[in-house]
Chains A and B, each alone.
Chain A
Amino acid sequence: KAGVTQTPRYLIKTRGQQVTLSCSPISGHRSVSWYQQTPGQGLQFLFEYFSETQRNKGNFPGRFSGRQFSNSRSEMNVSTLELGDSALYLCASSQGIGEKLFFGSGTQLSVL
């Protein structure tokens, strides 16, 4: 069974641009969560989707948004990029609520 797949693996953008990151969960998993990982702030929860509905949202500005499609694949979008958005963005999937989370290898975003 394929694991959680995140694309692209690396991304370089400039300030003011927008970016879209993609996450394909493990087959059969309906829950997808996103986390931002930085050396200074550690791992911070962004949002979670279950069956195309946002269940939880972390404390991030409205520039950060996400969505989930009917096949459970998820995308997150960051508009008007800032230098501080440089981070490793991790996606995790699970079969349902309270089930084990499986993490992807992440997308490393660098904002110049």
Chain B
Amino acid sequence: GDSVTQMEGPVTLSEEAFLTINCTYTATGYPSLFWYVQYPGEGLQLLLKATKADDKGSNKGFEATYRKETTSFHLEKGSVQVSDSAVYFCALSAPNNAGNMLTFGGGTRLMVKP
């Protein structure tokens, strides 16, 4: 079945450091790929998405590129802020999905220190 694997955390960085959170997937066909963020005590928020190979999703300084050849969708940000501290989830939606069902990775906690 479909699955998403992302690097385990926590990831601890100093403010203004470069961020990479790795995400790889296994799926039949070409799924849509997403990054969601969860702040403490809140639900998930869509951060960015990509729906086909070589697409780059971007939002709030975060970027991720859909790499079909490596089945990856790594999240990057050039300069993190304390306010970016949260849990980040990589997810996919299968191409044969009749609805909005998402398969999530295990989540990566990011902690940014001033």
Contact = CB atoms under 8 A, between A and B. Distances in A.
Task: Sort A-B residue pairs by CB-CB distance and give the 3 closest, nearest first.
Answer: A103-B43, A55-B99, A43-B104
In this complex, the interface size class of chain B, counting residues with CB under 8 Å from chain A, is 20 to 34
Contacts of B97: 56
A90 B43 contact: yes
Interface of A: 4, 31, 33, 35, 42-45, 48, 50, 55-56, 58, 90, 92, 94, 97-101, 103-106
Contacts of A44: 104
Given A90-B43, A90-B44, A106-B43, A101 B100 contact: yes
B35 interface: no
A104 to B, nearest CB: 5
A45 B99 CA distance: 12
B101 A45 contact: yes
B100 A105 contact: no
Interface of B: 36, 41-46, 89, 91, 93, 97-107
A43 B41 CA distance: 15
Given A42-B105, A42-B106, A42-B107, A48 B43 contact: no
Contacts of A4: 43
A104 B99 contact: no
14 contacts: A33-B99, A35-B104, A42-B107, A43-B89, A44-B104, A48-B99, A50-B99, A92-B43, A92-B44, A97-B98, A97-B100, A101-B46, A105-B43, A106-B43
